[in-house]
Chain A
Amino acid sequence: MAFGQTIISGKVLDEKGISLPGANVFIKGSFDGTSSDASGAFSFESSESGDQLLVVSMMGFKSQEFPITLSQSKIEIPSIKLIEEFNEMNTVTISAGAMEASDEKKSVILRPIDIVTTPSAMGDIVGAFQTLPGTSTVGNDGRLFVRGGDASEVGIYIDGMRVGNAYGTTAGNVPTRTRFNPNLFKGTFFSTGGYSAEYGQALSSTLALNTKDLAKRSQGDLSIMSVGGGYSHTLANEKRSISISGNIFDLKPYQALIKQNFDWERAPFGRDVELAAQQKTSKGGLWKVLARTESGGMQLWQPQPGMPDRGLLIDLKNTYSYAQTNWRRGFENGWSLFGGISFSQNKDILNLGGLDLERKNQLSHAKWTAGYDFSDRLAVKNGVEYFRNDYSEVLTQESLERSFGENQGFLFTEWDWYLSRKLVLRSGLRAGISSLAEEKWLDPRTSLAYKISKNGTLSFATGRFHQLPEERFRILAPSLKNTESKHLILNYLYQKDGKTFRAEAFHKSYDHLVRFEGIHQNPRNVRNEGDGFARGFDVFFRDRESLKNTDYWITYSFVDSKRSYFQYIGQVQPDFAPKHNLSVVVKHFVPSLKSQLGLSWSFNDGLAYTDPNLTGEMNSKTGMFQNLSLSWSYLPQPNLIIHGAITNVTGHQNIFGYQYAQNPNEQGRFESLPLGQGAPRFLFLGIFFTLSKDKNANNLNNL
Chain B
Amino acid sequence: MMKSSATQTANKWDFTNQARFHVALKKIKLYHMKKYLFTFALSLMWITLAFASDPAYENAMKKQISSMNTIQSSEQSQTVANGFIRIAEAKSEEWLPLYYAAYIKATAAFRFEVNKDQYFDQAMELVNKAEKIAPNNSEITALKGFVIMGKLSVDPMSRGQEMSPLAMQTFGKAIALDKENPRATTLMAQMELGMSQFFGSGPDKACGLARVGLELFSKEEAKVTENYILPTWGKREAVQVANACK
Q: Report whether chain A binds chain B.
A: yes
What residues of chain A have their CB less than 8 Å away from a CB belonging to chain B? 21-24, 26, 28-31, 33-35, 38, 55, 57, 59-60, 89, 103, 111, 113, 186, 216-217, 544, 551, 589, 591, 594, 635-638, 694, 696-697, 700-701
Extra contacts besides A638-B195, A696-B195 (20): CB < 8 Å: A22-B79, A26-B90, A31-B60, A31-B87, A33-B86, A35-B82, A35-B83, A38-B75, A55-B89, A57-B85, A59-B122, A103-B162, A216-B165, A216-B169, A589-B157, A591-B198, A638-B199, A694-B165, A694-B169, A696-B165
Give the distance in Å from the alpha carbon of A597 to the alpha carbon of B106 in the complex: 34
CB of B166 within 8 A of chain A? yes
Of B82, B89, B117, which one neighbours A22 at CB under 8 angstroms? Answer: B82
Give the distance in Å from the alpha carbon of A24 to the alpha carbon of B82 in the complex: 6
Contact between A700 and B78, CB atoms less than 8 A apart: no
- CB contact list, B117-133 vs A, under 8 A: 117-118, 121-122, 125
Contacts A59-B125, A637-B201, A696-B168 given; does A113 touch B158 at CB 8 Å: yes
Contacts A29-B90, A31-B86 given; does A103 touch B75 at CB 8 Å: no
B101 to chain A, nearest CB (A): 10
Residue numbers in B under 8 Å from A26 (CB-CB): 86, 89-90
- CB contact list, B169-184 vs A, under 8 A: 169
Residue of B whose beta carbon sits closest to that of A544: B157
CB of B161 within 8 A of chain A? yes
Ordered by A's residue number, 7 sampled pairs between the chains whose C-beta atoms are within 8 Å are A21-B78, A35-B79, A89-B117, A216-B165, A635-B199, A636-B199, A694-B169
B208 to chain A, nearest CB (A): 14
Contact between B161 and A700, CB atoms less than 8 A apart: yes
Residue numbers in A under 8 Å from B125 (CB-CB): 59
Residue numbers in A under 8 Å from B85 (CB-CB): 24, 57
CB of B33 within 8 A of chain A? no
Residue numbers in B under 8 Å from A697 (CB-CB): 165
User: Count of A-B contacts with CB under 8 A?
Assistant: 77
Residue numbers in A under 8 Å from B195 (CB-CB): 638, 696
CB of B52 within 8 A of chain A? no
Residue picked from B56, B86, B158, most chain A C-beta under 10 Å: B86
Contact between B158 and A103, CB atoms less than 8 A apart: yes
Give the distance in Å from the alpha carbon of A24 to the alpha carbon of B78 in the complex: 9
Residue numbers in B under 8 Å from A89 (CB-CB): 117-118, 121
Contact between A22 and B199, CB atoms less than 8 A apart: no
7 closest pairs, A vs B, by CB? A22-B78, A24-B82, A35-B82, A35-B79, A111-B158, A31-B60, A33-B86
Decide if the interface of chain B is mainly helix, strand, loop or mixed. helix
CB of B29 within 8 A of chain A? no
Of A28, A29, A638, which one neighbours B201 at CB under 8 angstroms? Answer: A638
Residue numbers in B under 8 Å from A217 (CB-CB): 165, 169
Residue numbers in A under 8 Å from B121 (CB-CB): 89
Residue numbers in B under 8 Å from A216 (CB-CB): 165-166, 169
Contact with A along B90-122 (1 / 0, CB 8 A): 100000000000000000000000000110011
A693 to chain B, nearest CB (A): 10
CB of B164 within 8 A of chain A? yes
Of A28, A111, A594, which one neighbours B200 at CB under 8 angstroms? Answer: A594
Residue numbers in B under 8 Å from A700 (CB-CB): 161
B55 to chain A, nearest CB (A): 11
Give the distance in Å from the alpha carbon of A360 to the alpha carbon of B205 in the complex: 57
Residue of A whose beta carbon sits closest to that of B199: A638
Contact with A along B16-27 (1 / 0, CB 8 A): 000000000000
Residue numbers in B under 8 Å from A589 (CB-CB): 157
Residue of B whose beta carbon sits closest to that of A592: B200
Give the distance in Å from the alpha carbon of A30 to the alpha carbon of B57 in the complex: 10
B86 to chain A, nearest CB (A): 5
Residue numbers in B under 8 Å from A33 (CB-CB): 82-83, 86
Residue numbers in A under 8 Å from B223 (CB-CB): none
Give the distance in Å from the alpha carbon of A327 to the alpha carbon of B90 in the complex: 39
Contact between A113 and B161, CB atoms less than 8 A apart: yes
A463 to chain B, nearest CB (A): 32
CB of B219 within 8 A of chain A? no
Residue of B whose beta carbon sits closest to that of A111: B158
Of B56, B90, B118, B164, which one neighbours A696 at CB under 8 angstroms? Answer: B164
Residue numbers in B under 8 Å from A60 (CB-CB): 118, 122
CB of B159 within 8 A of chain A? yes
Give the distance in Å from the alpha carbon of A57 to the alpha carbon of B125 in the complex: 15
Contacts A635-B199, A694-B168 given; does A24 touch B86 at CB 8 Å: yes
Contacts A694-B165, A694-B168 given; does A22 touch B75 at CB 8 Å: yes
Residue numbers in A under 8 Å from B162 (CB-CB): 103, 186
Residue numbers in A under 8 Å from B89 (CB-CB): 26, 28-29, 55
Contact between A103 and B159, CB atoms less than 8 A apart: yes
Give the distance in Å from the alpha carbon of A594 to the alpha carbon of B200 in the complex: 9
- CB contact list, B72-88 vs A, under 8 A: 75, 78-79, 82-83, 85-87
A200 to chain B, nearest CB (A): 32
Residue numbers in A under 8 Å from B75 (CB-CB): 21-22, 38
A177 to chain B, nearest CB (A): 23
Residue numbers in B under 8 Å from A57 (CB-CB): 85
Give the distance in Å from the alpha carbon of A31 to the alpha carbon of B90 in the complex: 6
Residue numbers in A under 8 Å from B82 (CB-CB): 22-24, 33-35
A304 to chain B, nearest CB (A): 49
Residue of B whose beta carbon sits closest to that of A24: B82
B99 to chain A, nearest CB (A): 16
Residue of B whose beta carbon sits closest to that of A635: B199
Residue numbers in B under 8 Å from A59 (CB-CB): 122, 125
Residue numbers in B under 8 Å from A29 (CB-CB): 89-90
Residue numbers in A under 8 Å from B158 (CB-CB): 103, 111, 113
